[in-house]
Amino acid sequence: MWQIEKLVSKGDYIYARVPSHPNSTKNGYVLHHRIVMENHIGRLLTKDEIVHHKDHDRKNNVITNLDIMTNSAHAKMHGLKHGRKMVKFKCPNCKNIFSRRSGNTHLWRNGTYTTCSRKCSGSFSRLIQLNGKTEEINKAIAENLIEEYRIFPDFLVEGEPNN
């Protein structure tokens, strides 16, 4: 189906020069593992399809090492293996202890604190607006982050035990 003119190793991947490919770069290159899979299945991969390397070696492009997955299934699979990063907090407003995914906190948004609810966020923000950052407010913010941890499901992909 696709004739490869040459292979180039760059970074973690191997690229194939296939200027006639509809998804090639301006210089005619496409990821080699995608060409191998497209030639194997006899059609173009869709935008939602990922070619996964079973052994995680991105340069091992033999067809027995490759699988087609959706973007979401691929992201979920890798997320399961690395666990979900969680953070435990003490709300600076009401002092409740709560947990959130790390990406849903001030740690990823360049903020200074995370509250347990929108109501507490509004109350605490108003307190800062009215009084400024007092010693008590600074102490509440300093005590906000309790711990960071990862959670793992009971099983990984395809029933592998969780180590």
List pLDDT tens digits, range 90-138: 999 999 999 998 888 988 777 899 999 999 999 999 999 999 999 999 9
Instruction: Quote the pLDDT of residue 159.
Output: 45
Whole-number Å distance between alpha carbons of 117 and 123: 10
Q: Any idea where the domains of the chain sit in the sequence?
A: 7-79, 84-151
What is the identity of the amino acid at 24?
S
Q: What are the DSSP calls for 16-44, one per residue?
A: EE-TT-TT--TTSEEEHHHHHHHHHHTSP
- Average of per-residue pLDDT values in the chain: 90
Q: What confidence tier does 156 reach under pLDDT thresholds 50, 70, 90?
A: very low
Q: Quickly state the pLDDT bin for 1 (edges 50, 70, 90).
A: confident
> Quick one: pLDDT band at residue 154, thresholds 50, 70, 90?
low
Phi, psi of 76 (to 5 degrees): -65, -45
3-state secondary structure of 52: strand
Q: How far apart are CA 15 and CA 34, in angstroms?
A: 9
What span, in angstroms and rounded, lies between the C-alpha atoms of 80 and 72? 12
